[in-house]
Amino acid sequence: MSLAVCPGSFDPVTLGHLDVIRRARSMFDEVVVVVAHNAAKHPLLSVEERVALVEGAVKDIPDVRVVAWDGLLADYLKQSGAHAVVKGLRGGADVDAELGMALLNRHLSGVETVFVPGDGALAHVASSLVKDVARHGGAIDDLVPPGVAAAVSAALDGGTR
């Protein structure tokens, strides 16, 4: 049984993330979405909120599960027996950002990264941009799965705007 890992901060999960997760599932028997803690980022949503939102978004995709991880992705890859990491690419900037991580993860774990070109219709959708639109009062419902816009709004109304 082949296992792929789709890692990210998912702050918040977007329709672009779901596109990559669905396509990863079409290539592998099982997909684990790893909601990672990134010390370089200051998330709007807690890890628990992000896990719950991703779980809600993938509930209808068979053989996809969601876990939180606070450590090296390479350690999770070895522990889980993963066969591949799957990452979506929207454009050249993503290639530049992801290539070094893919090479380091392969060096540390022996696991290869598969890059999946993102859906062109979603190339403009990034979690950071979604949060920026929401911070300025814009609608994000058509950029995120159901329930996510309300969670982002609630977090922003909690004083982090």
Tell me the catalytic residues.
Answer: 17, 41, 90, 127
Q: What are phi and psi of 2, to 5 degrees?
A: -90, 140
Lookup: tokens for 30: 């099982």
Q: By C-alpha distance, which of 141, 156, 159 is closest to 14?
A: 141
Contact 35, 69 (CB under 8 A): yes
- The alpha carbon dihedral of 71, 131, 52, 7 has a sign of negative
The strand pairing partners of 30, in sequence order, are 3
Residue type, 54: V
Residue with tokens 């977007």: 14
